[in-house]
Amino acid sequence: MRTEERLFTEGYREMKLKAVSGIIMILLLVSMLTLAFNIQLARASQPVTIVYVHPSINYATLGQTFSINVNIANVTDLWGFELKLGYDTTILDIVQVSIPPFLNEPTWLIKNEIREDEGWYFLAIVAWGPEVPSKNGSGTLVMLTFEVTGIGSCILDVYGTMLVTKEGELIDHVVEDGYFEFTLREHDIAVSLDAPGHLMPGDSALLNATVFNSGLNNETDVELRLLINESVVDSVVIDFLQTNSSHSLSYDWTPPVVEATYNVTAYALPVPNEDFTLNNMKSAEVPVSYVIRVPFHYPTIQEAIDAANPRDTILVSAGTYCESLTIHKSLTLVGEESSTTIISKFDEAIRVTANNVDIRNFAIQNASRIGILVGWGIKHTTITGNRITNNDGAGIALYETSCNTVVGNIVSNNRDYGIVSDLSNNNTVVGNIVSNNEDRGIYLSESYNNTISGNTVTNNRRYGIHSFWSDNNTIIGNTVLYNEGKGITLDWSSYNTVEDNMISDNTDAGVYLYGYFMKDYVVQRLCRNNTIVGNTVLNNQIGIYASYTENNVIYHNSFINNTDQVSLSSSSDIWDNGYEGNYWSDYAGTDSDGDGIGDNPYIINEDNRDRYPLMNPYIHVDLNDDGAVNICDVILMAVAYGSYPGHPRWNLTADINKDLIVNILDAITIARNFGKTI
| pLDDT value of position 347 | 62
Asked if residue 664 lies in contact with residue 641, where contact means CB atoms within 8 angstroms, the answer is no
For the domain bounded by 291-409, which CATH number is listed? 2.160.20.10
Helices (H) and strands (E) in the chain, counts: 4, 59
Given a cut of 60, whether residue 7 has pLDDT beyond it is: no
Assign residue 13 a region (left: φ > 0; alpha: ψ between -120 and 50; beta: otherwise): alpha
Residue 674 CB contacts under 8 Å (≥ 6 apart), including other chains:
128, 129, 130, 629, 630, 634
What order do you get walking across the sheet with 246-253 strand by strand?
189-194, 205-213, 246-253
Q: What is the mean pLDDT of residues 383-408?
A: 93
Asked if residue 509 lies in contact with residue 538, where contact means CB atoms within 8 angstroms, the answer is no
| pLDDT value of position 506 | 95
| pLDDT value of position 254 | 92
Amino acid at 411: V
Residue 450 CB contacts under 8 Å (≥ 6 apart), including other chains:
421, 424, 425, 426, 427, 428, 429, 444, 470, 473, 474
Say how far apart CA 147 and CA 69 lie, in whole Å.
15
Q: Length of the chain in residues, anyone? A: 678
User: 523 pLDDT band (50/70/90 cuts)?
Assistant: low
Residue 452 CB contacts under 8 Å (≥ 6 apart), including other chains:
429, 430, 442, 444, 465, 473, 474, 475, 476, 478
Say how far apart CA 564 and CA 6 lie, in whole Å.
86
Given a cut of 90, whether residue 22 has pLDDT beyond it is: no
> Bigger pLDDT: 37 or 286?
286
pLDDT cut 90: percent of the chain above it: 60
Strands (E), 205-280: 205-213, 219-228, 231-241, 246-253, 260-268
Terminal CA-CA length for the chain = 83
Whole-angstrom CA distances from 131 to 134, 136, 169, 671 are 9, 16, 18, 10
| pLDDT value of position 525 | 66
Given a cut of 80, whether residue 289 has pLDDT beyond it is: no
| pLDDT value of position 46 | 61
Given a cut of 90, whether residue 229 has pLDDT beyond it is: yes
Q: Which of 477, 491, 476, 404 is nearest to 440 (CA)?
A: 491
Say how far apart CA 496 and CA 394 lie, in whole Å.
24
Q: What is the mean pLDDT of residues 456-462?
A: 93
Given a cut of 80, whether residue 9 has pLDDT beyond it is: no
Q: How many C-beta atoms lie closer than 10 Å to residue 200's C-beta? A: 18
Protein fold of 15-182: Immunoglobulin-like (2.60.40)
User: 383 pLDDT band (50/70/90 cuts)?
Assistant: very high
Residue 377 CB contacts under 8 Å (≥ 6 apart), including other chains:
400, 401
Say how far apart CA 95 and CA 98 lie, in whole Å.
10
Q: Kindly report which listed range (53-62, 208-217, 469-478, 627-636) carries the lowest average pLDDT score.
A: 627-636
User: 63 pLDDT band (50/70/90 cuts)?
Assistant: confident
pLDDT in tens, 648-664: 788 888 898 888 899 99
Amino acid at 476: I
Q: Which of 297, 402, 390, 399 is nearest to 343 (CA)?
A: 390
Q: Kindly report which listed range (165-174, 302-311, 328-337) carries the lowest average pLDDT score.
A: 302-311
> Bigger pLDDT: 258 or 507?
507
Whole-angstrom CA distances from 174 to 46, 49, 123, 142, 419 are 14, 6, 17, 17, 47
Whole-angstrom CA distances from 414 to 54, 387, 444, 605 are 52, 11, 17, 41
Q: Which of 575, 584, 585, 615 is nearest to 598 (CA)?
A: 615
Q: How many C-beta atoms lie closer than 10 Å to residue 420's C-beta? A: 24
Assign residue 393 a region (left: φ > 0; alpha: ψ between -120 and 50; beta: otherwise): beta
Q: Which of 500, 457, 486, 437 is nearest to 646 (CA)?
A: 457
DSSP 511-575: EEEE-EEEETTEEEE-EES-EEES-EEES-SEEEEEESEEEEEEES-EEES-SEEEEEES-EEE-
User: 285 pLDDT band (50/70/90 cuts)?
Assistant: confident
Given a cut of 90, whether residue 218 has pLDDT beyond it is: yes
Q: Which of 474, 479, 481 is nearest to 436 (CA)?
A: 481
| pLDDT value of position 653 | 87
H or E stretch covering 5: helix 3-42
| pLDDT value of position 528 | 94
Amino acid at 616: N
* Beta-bridge mates of residue 392: none
CATH of 189-288, one of 3.40.50.150, 3.60.15.10, 2.60.40.10, 2.160.20.10: 2.60.40.10
* Beta-bridge mates of residue 396: 372, 419
Say how far apart CA 639 and CA 636 lie, in whole Å.
5
User: 675 pLDDT band (50/70/90 cuts)?
Assistant: confident
Say how far apart CA 235 and CA 224 lie, in whole Å.
6
Asked if residue 226 lies in contact with residue 317, where contact means CB atoms within 8 angstroms, the answer is no
Burial of 455 (0-12, 13-18, 19+ CB in 10 A): buried
Residue 45 CB contacts under 8 Å (≥ 6 apart), including other chains:
none
3-state helix, strand, coil in the chain (%, to 5): 10, 45, 45
CATH 2.60.40.10 intervals, the chain: 189-288
CATH 2.60.40.680 intervals, the chain: 15-182
pLDDT averaged over every residue in the chain: 87
| pLDDT value of position 198 | 66
For the CA atoms of 418, 331, 304, 386, what is the dihedral angle to 10 degrees?
30
Say how far apart CA 267 and CA 247 lie, in whole Å.
13
| pLDDT value of position 320 | 93
H or E stretch covering 112: strand 107-115
pLDDT cut 70: percent of the chain above it: 92
For the domain bounded by 439-618, which CATH number is listed? 2.160.20.10
| pLDDT value of position 306 | 85
